[in-house]
Amino acid sequence: MRVLFIWPPEKIFTGSLFKHYTYFGETIGYFSKQKKYHIDVLDCGVKQYSYSELYNAVQADVVIIYVETYTIKSAVDLAEFCKASNRKVTVIAYGSACCYIPKFFAKNENIDVVVYNANWEQGIDLYLNYINGNITIDKLKNIYFSNGKEILMCQKGDFFEPQDWGVPDLDLLPIQDYFKVRGKKQIELAVNKGCGYNCKFCSEKVLYGHKDYRRDVNSI
C-alpha cells in the first residue's frame, strides 16, 4: 500500500516548525518504523511543488493530510485536488483543526476519514488495517467516516503510552528545507503531551484531556 503524508501549503509561515517535526513528523515516524507501507512525504508548508509533482504524488492508495487552523482552506482544496486527480484514493484528515471541528471535515465529500482526537496514530493505524481486511469495522476507533449512506462516529480509544510514540523520521522529512527555513540546524521532539491544568486559552485539554503524558528520560 502506498501512503502519502502531506502538509498543506501555508500562506503565512509562523516560523515555528514544532508541529512539522512532532504532530506531523512523529506520526510519520510511527508508521515508517512498522515497515508495512510505502510512505512518501510532501511538506508544502516549507517547499513549493508544481501541479504535476502534486498530481504524481497523490497517485497513492491513501493520502493523509495534517490540518492546522491556519491551513484549513488549503487542506480542503488539497483534498478536492486529490479526489479530482485520483478517483480511487482514500483521503484521511487529522491534526489539531480536526480535533476542534471534526464534523466540518467529516461532512466534506472529498475527505473519507477524520481523526477527531489527538490519538491520531491509533485512528489512522486501525483504519489502514481495516481497508487492508485485517480487522472488522467494529474495531475502528477515534474517527468519523462515511459508509456511503451516513457519517459514522467510532468510539474513543485509549491514548498511546509515551513508549509507543513515534519519533521524527529524518529520512522522510525534508530536513534540509527545515534547516533552511529556520536558519539553523535544530530538531524538535515532543517530550510530553497533555496537561493537568485547565487554562481557558490552551488547546491541550481539547487534544489530550487533562492528563499529562511524558516520554521516559532514557527514551529521549
Q: Tens-of-pLDDT digits for all 220 residues of the chain?
A: 999 999 999 877 766 789 999 999 999 999 999 999 999 999 999 999 999 999 999 999 999 999 999 999 999 999 999 999 999 999 999 999 999 999 999 999 999 999 999 999 999 999 999 999 999 999 999 999 987 788 999 999 988 888 889 999 999 999 999 998 888 888 888 898 888 888 888 888 888 878 888 999 988 8
Closest to 183 in 3D by CA, of 11, 13, 8, 42: 13
Cell output for 67: 490540518
- Spatial distance between the Cα atoms of 24 and 96, rounded to a whole number of angstroms: 11
Contact present, 196 and 212 (Cβ < 8 Å): yes
SS3 per-residue string spanning the chain: CEEEEEECCCCCCCCCCHHHHHHHHHHHHHHHCCCCCEEEEEECCCCCCCHHHHHHHCCCCEEEEECCHHHHHHHHHHHHHHHHHCCCCEEEEECHHHHHCHHHHHCCCCCCEEECCCCHHHHHHHHHHHHCCCCCHHHCCCEEEECCCCEEECCCCCCCCHHHCCCCCCCCCCHHHHHHHHCCCCCCCCCEECCCCCCCCCCHHHHHCCCCEECCHHHC
* The pLDDT of residue 14: 66
Cell output for 112: 473519507
